[in-house]
């Protein structure tokens, strides 16, 4: 009987063993090959750098920064092993003692309280498997762990683990975690910080130092106790580490970096078009750009201030108090992180919460700092403090001073503008984009008005007409009759009569004066003389790719273009006739430092150096005597052109020094009027001046080069003749192609009617 039982038992045992073996065989066949680890490339952050090498942007799916094993502190290794896998160096992937211990603990407690996964099993799960809790996955996890241990050293396993595991708040790997929670590299972590990180992987949200600081503190103490038990630190070291001050953080110290959002987004779009989105967000590219951070900061500051100034000229708008509690809470969180994290600075514009309002002043809180808003600093609204503000209002203020006795900041009331704008600057010698701001606030509107908005340039288009004329043999001394005329458009049959901004006509006018005073009638007549198609061809050569309609109104900039196109085209004047293709990325390397793309601006001669020099000379007149005279405050050689559309919907100024070209556009997205007399000279030029003042502050003063093919003479701007004592009041230095300069001297001794200091000039 016993013999029969043993035979039956053996048969069932064999069947069970065979079935188990068969299942294991099937699982083994279904496992990913461990050799794939040799080719494994974890998802890494793509980083974008400024020309100075400073990090300005990041793209990622998982925020991970690879770290060498040698840079991982011993305390972090010991803390992690003590917490996650105390027999790590003894087992071969599976800790049978740990399994028995966990099973016993769970049996006693009546619930699943402890896990028994080794570090190697956790790594296998993260790299190859899904997180679902099924027996099949657990078996595969064990099989993979055994294979990993057989193929790799303990050090290699730890290196992979520390670079792969998730620590919460978007941080993958210990380097990203150290930067996220402690704003430092992992190699600089203290024992206390190592213990806190080691306590996160099992439940990163539950033990988050950001969300639940007390839990995190208790978890840190628990990990330190385990380290003492394992003999890795002394009780005294554990006590000191447990007492290390721990400050709750309002949010991750290391969030996604984006110091120039419109520019960084421009870079992202290019990368995704060329390398696909997944590669950009996972490949760990290093993107080196042309952006100059100092110029970028100056551009943001100048544009935002200019738009606020224009908005205030249009009048006060009552505060809207219709935000929901959730909307207000989200806005305050953003403000705390971005504006209130550090003390306010003089001239800084930031948000504040009104705490108290009296007839004489309002008290405003900005995070941990207080400010006083006196009634005279709200006078521009035409209202009293009590009529404008109420306690708990969230308002915009500008810091104008500080009371050293009370420590309170002196504030002025401001308002968020509705008007939009853009600023773009590049180096004409290389084509490198140095600054790009596509709107007042990227987080309110990601539409990039520097590169995407098609707008009418107004009189800023006129230099293309004058360039064509110079190429056709006209000179700055050539005259066009500034008098009324009517054109019949040959394509539409409609009549069109251009008018000057002043609604006056000035008779025979030199091209020099016509350009610097932005005379519409002269520009229209000149366009018809040189040919519309020829002007379009010139604009095309100079890099304008937008549609240009062949109508007479093209003389006044009726066809829409982008700011980038216009700035690039003007750079040709500054670069002696050479068009440098705009570039914004100089080099891209992969995660291993191998160069996969390198850019040098392509050069193309599109104008003769003499034509370019003559245009620079004429455009200098716009600043020296014309519609952009305000820019003389910069006290250095500059040239440029204002632009305004007839209905005041678009205001432009594009100008340059020998080494920097910058353009500003101002307008509403929906193309409505900016306001009466809000011309390029009034709305856009002040922004350009503020930017150039900062951007060129440390640059030496230099004049534009004069090629050998050009002769500079003292010309009477009105008559176009050589200037002498009789007409020195209108004397200008003007460049001519050699042989085309005037040969006769002016002979009048009076102030001509068509140009005098009393004559109003175009304000566009």
**Residue 97 vs residue 299, higher pLDDT:** 299
DSSP state of 323: -
Note the pLDDT of residue 132.
Answer: 55
**Does the pLDDT of residue 8 top 90, yes or no?**
no
- Tell me, yes or no, if 459 is annotated catalytic: yes
Q: Where are the alpha helices (DSSP H) in 276-324?
A: 277-282, 293-313
Q: Provide the CATH number for the domain formed by 421-584+600-695 in this structure.
A: 3.40.710.10
**Does the pLDDT of residue 71 top 80, yes or no?**
yes
Please give the full DSSP string across 601-668, using - where no structure is assigned: PPEEE-S-HHHHHHHHHHHHHHHHTSTTGGGGGG-S--EEEEEE-TTSSEEEEEEEETTEEEEEEEE-
Place of tokens 């984009």: 433
Tokens of 349: 């514009």
Q: Which contacts (CB < 8 Å, 24+ apart) does range 187-190 have?
A: 187/67, 187/71, 187/72, 187/73, 189/73, 189/75, 189/76, 190/241, 190/244
Q: What is 65-242's CATH number, 1.20.810.10, 1.10.3470.10, 1.10.3810.10, 3.20.20.70?
A: 1.10.3810.10
**Residue 56 in contact with residue 50, Cβ under 8 Å?**
yes
| CATH 2.40.50.140 domain extents, the chain | 331-417
**Does the pLDDT of residue 169 top 90, yes or no?**
no
**Residue 199 in contact with residue 83, Cβ under 8 Å?**
yes
**Closest to 435 measured CA to CA, from 295, 615, 240:** 295
Interatomic CA distance for residues 505 and 521, integer angstroms: 8
Catalytic residue among 84, 416, 565, 678: 84
Note the pLDDT of residue 131.
Answer: 53
**Residue 54 in contact with residue 290, Cβ under 8 Å?**
no
| CATH 3.40.710.10 domain extents, the chain | 421-584+600-695
- Tell me, yes or no, if 84 is annotated catalytic: yes
Share of residues in the chain with pLDDT > 90 (%): 66
**Does the pLDDT of residue 420 top 70, yes or no?**
yes
Interatomic CA distance for residues 153 and 88, integer angstroms: 12
C-alpha to C-alpha distances, 435 to 422, 584, 701, nearest whole angstrom: 10, 10, 21
Note the pLDDT of residue 92.
Answer: 83
| pLDDT, tens only, 651-672 | 999 999 999 999 999 999 998 9
Phi-psi group of 647: left, alpha or beta (phi > 0 → left; psi -120 to 50 → alpha; rest → beta): alpha
Tokens of 559: 């066809």
Strand partners, 661: 426, 656
Split at pLDDT 50, 70, 90, the class of 596 is very high
Interatomic CA distance for residues 567 and 587, integer angstroms: 23
CATH architecture of 331-417: Beta Barrel (2.40)
Report the pLDDT averaged over residues 588-593: 91
**Residue 360 vs residue 321, higher pLDDT:** 360
Phi-psi group of 347: left, alpha or beta (phi > 0 → left; psi -120 to 50 → alpha; rest → beta): left
| pLDDT, tens only, 16-39 | 444 444 444 444 445 566 665 666
Catalytic residue among 208, 459, 518, 571: 459
Interatomic CA distance for residues 83 and 449, integer angstroms: 53
Tell how far CA 21 is from the center of its chain: 59
């Amino acid at each position: 009987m016993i013999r029969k039982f043993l035979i039956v038992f053996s048969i069932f045992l064999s069947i069970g063993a065979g079935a188990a073996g068969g299942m294991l065989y099937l699982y083994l066949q279904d496992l990913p090959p461990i050799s794939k680890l040799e080719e494994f490339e974890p998802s890494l952050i793509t980083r974008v750098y400024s020309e100075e090498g400073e990090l300005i942007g990041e793209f990622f799916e998982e925020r991970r920064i690879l770290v060498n094993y040698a840079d991982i502190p011993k305390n972090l290794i010991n803390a992690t092993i003590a917490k996650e896998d105390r027999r790590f160096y003894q087992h071969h992937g599976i800790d049978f003692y740990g399994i028995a211990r966990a099973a016993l603990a769970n049996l006693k407690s009546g619930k699943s309280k402890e896990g028994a996964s080794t570090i190697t099993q956790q790594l296998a799960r993260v790299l190859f498997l899904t997180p679902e809790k099924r027996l099949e996955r657990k078996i595969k996890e064990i099989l993979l762990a055994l294979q990993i241990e057989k193929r790799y050293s303990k050090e290699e396993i730890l290196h992979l683990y520390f670079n792969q595991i998730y620590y919460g708040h978007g941080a993958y790997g210990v380097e990203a975690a150290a930067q996220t929670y402690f704003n430092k590299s992992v190699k600089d972590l203290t024992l206390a910080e190592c213990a806190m990180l080691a306590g996160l992987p099992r439940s990163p949200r539950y033990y988050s130092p950001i969300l639940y600081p007390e839990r995190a503190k208790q978890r840190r103490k628990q990990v330190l106790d385990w380290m003492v038990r394992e003999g890795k630190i002394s009780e005294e070291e554990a006590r000191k580490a447990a007492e290390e001050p721990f400050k709750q953080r309002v949010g991750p110290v290391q969030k996604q970096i984006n110091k120039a959002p419109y520019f960084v987004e421009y870079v992202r779009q290019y990368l995704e078009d060329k390398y696909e989105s997944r590669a950009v967000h996972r490949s760990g590219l290093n993107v080196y750009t042309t952006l100059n951070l100092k110029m970028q900061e100056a551009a943001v500051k100048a544009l935002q201030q200019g738009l606020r100034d224009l908005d205030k000229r249009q009048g006060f708008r009552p505060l809207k108090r219709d935000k929901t509690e959730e909307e207000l809470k989200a806005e305050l969180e953003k403000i705390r992180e971005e504006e209130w994290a550090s003390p306010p600075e003089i001239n800084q514009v930031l948000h504040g919460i009104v705490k108290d309002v009296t007839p004489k002043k309002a008290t405003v809180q900005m995070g941990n700092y207080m400010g006083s808003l006196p009634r005279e600093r709200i006078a521009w609204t035409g209202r009293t403090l009590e009529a404008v503000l109420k306690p708990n209002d969230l308002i915009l203020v500008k810091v104008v001073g500080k009371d050293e006795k009370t420590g309170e900041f002196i504030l002025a009331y401001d308002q968020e503008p509705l008007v939009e704008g853009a600023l773009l600057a590049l180096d004409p010698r290389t084509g490198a984009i140095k600054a790009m701001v596509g709107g007042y606030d990227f987080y309110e509107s990601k539409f990039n008005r520097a590169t995407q908005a098609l707008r009418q340039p107004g009189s800023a288009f006129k230099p293309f007409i004058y360039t064509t004329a110079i190429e056709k043999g006209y000179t700055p001394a050539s005259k066009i009759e500034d008098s009324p005329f009517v054109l019949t458009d040959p394509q539409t049959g409609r009549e069109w009569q251009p008018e000057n901004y002043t609604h006056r006509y000035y008779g025979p006018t030199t091209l020099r004066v016509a350009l610097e005073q932005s005379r519409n009638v002269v520009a229209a007549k000149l366009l018809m003389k040189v040919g519309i198609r020829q002007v379009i061809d010139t604009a095309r050569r100079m890099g304008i790719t937008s549609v240009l309609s062949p109508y007479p109104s093209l003389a006044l900039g009726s066809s829409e273009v982008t700011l980038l196109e216009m700035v690039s085209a003007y750079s040709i004047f500054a670069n002696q006739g050479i068009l440098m293709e705009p570039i914004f990325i100089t080099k891209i390397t992969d995660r291993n430092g191998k160069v996969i793309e390198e850019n040098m601006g392509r050069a193309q001669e599109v104008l003769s150096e003499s034509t370019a020099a003559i245009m620079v000379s004429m455009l200098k007149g716009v600043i020296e005597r014309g519609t952009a005279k305000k820019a003389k405050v910069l006290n250095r050689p500059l040239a440029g052109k204002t632009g305004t559309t007839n209905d005041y919907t678009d205001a432009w100024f594009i100008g340059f020094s020998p080494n920097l070209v910058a353009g500003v556009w101002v307008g509403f997205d929906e193309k409505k009027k900016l306001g009466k007399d809000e011309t390029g000279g009034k709305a856009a030029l002040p922004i350009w001046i503020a930017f150039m003042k900062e951007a060129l502050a440390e640059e030496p003063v230099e004049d534009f080069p004069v090629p050998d093919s050009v002769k500079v003479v003292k010309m009477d701007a009105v008559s176009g003749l050589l200037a002498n004592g009789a007409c020195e009041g209108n004397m200008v230095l003007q460049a001519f192609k050699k042989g085309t300069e005037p040969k006769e001297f002016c002979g009048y001794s009076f102030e001509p009617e068509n140009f005098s200091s009393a004559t109003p000039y175009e304000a566009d």
